[in-house]
Amino acid sequence: MPEMKSPRTRRSPEEARQLVLETAEKLMTEGGLPAVQMRAVAREAGMTDAGVAHHFGNRDGLLAALMDHGSAKVRTAVSEAVSDWLRTGPDIRSFVTMLREMYANGYAALALQVHGSGWEDRGPVLLKPAVDALYAQRRNPDVTKDDIRVALASLHLWLALDPLFGDAFRRSAGLAASASSRQVDWWIQTLESRLG
């Protein structure tokens, strides 16, 4: 008896792109960046390899689009966090935790790879809402907007690289890998005291 094929699902191009990006993100979270292969994404999304290639060209195109997708998610999360800050005051711990989780879920390796191949974030300045909110709510009038930019850029750099190189750098200073949470606490305390 011939094998029955499941009926094709018709999606708009935008729905298909979104499905592929969500599938690629899921695979990256579960198996790291090496798990994001065109064929694996197509199979998991219930599409053909050609369907994925139609929307993204090749794996590099898919990875760049996945990075754009992640940047958009961070922008949304930053905006939501900042809107809460206007009511409750800055919550640096939640902000750091949100960014840390994004990078720990595969975006650190993705960022390193796509930046290395020339990808640039084409959206608005990623952390600008946080800079503006922290500046507006600072308690120390000597803190400039550039001070806040430097602090957040330094934090962002550490958060992006820690999942990839943190253990080795901690060892270079004589710290155990488990000191990562102590470093997070240090960043939070430093930002709170510096920006306060």
**Cα separation, 77 vs 79, whole angstroms:** 5
Q: Which two tokens stand for residue 141?
A: 């009038």
Binning pLDDT at 50, 70 and 90, where does residue 4 land?
very low
pLDDT of residue 93: 92
C-alpha distances in angstroms, 91 versus 28, 56, 104, 130, 193?
A: 29, 38, 20, 11, 13
- At residue 196, the pLDDT reads 64
Nearest to 96 by CA among 194, 183, 195, 193: 183
| Local confidence band at 194 (pLDDT 50, 70, 90 cut-offs) | confident
List, for residues 6-36, the tens digit of each pLDDT value. Answer: 555 677 889 999 999 999 999 988 888 899 9
- Contact criterion met (CB below 8 Å) for 131 and 152: yes
pLDDT (tens digit per residue) in 106-127: 888 888 888 877 878 887 888 9
- The whole-number pLDDT of residue 6 equals 52
Q: Is the pLDDT of residue 167 over 80?
A: yes
Higher per-residue confidence, 193 vs 24 = 24
Pick from 187, 186, 191, 183: nearest CA to 90: 191
Q: What are the distances in angstroms from CA 172 to CA 153, 166, 169, 183?
A: 23, 10, 5, 14
Q: What is the pLDDT of residue 3?
A: 53
Cα dihedral 86→181→163→120 (10° resolution): 20
Per the model's pLDDT, the better-predicted residue between 114 and 162 turns out to be 162
Q: Mean pLDDT, to the nearest integer, of 138-145?
A: 90
Please state the separation of Cα 80 from the chain's center in Å: 15
Sole residue written with tokens 């990875």: 63
How confident is the prediction for the chain on average, in pLDDT? Answer: 88
Task: Please check whether residue 151 is in contact with residue 140, taking contact to mean a CB–CB distance below 8 angstroms.
Answer: no
Task: Tell me the mean pLDDT in the region 119-139.
Answer: 88
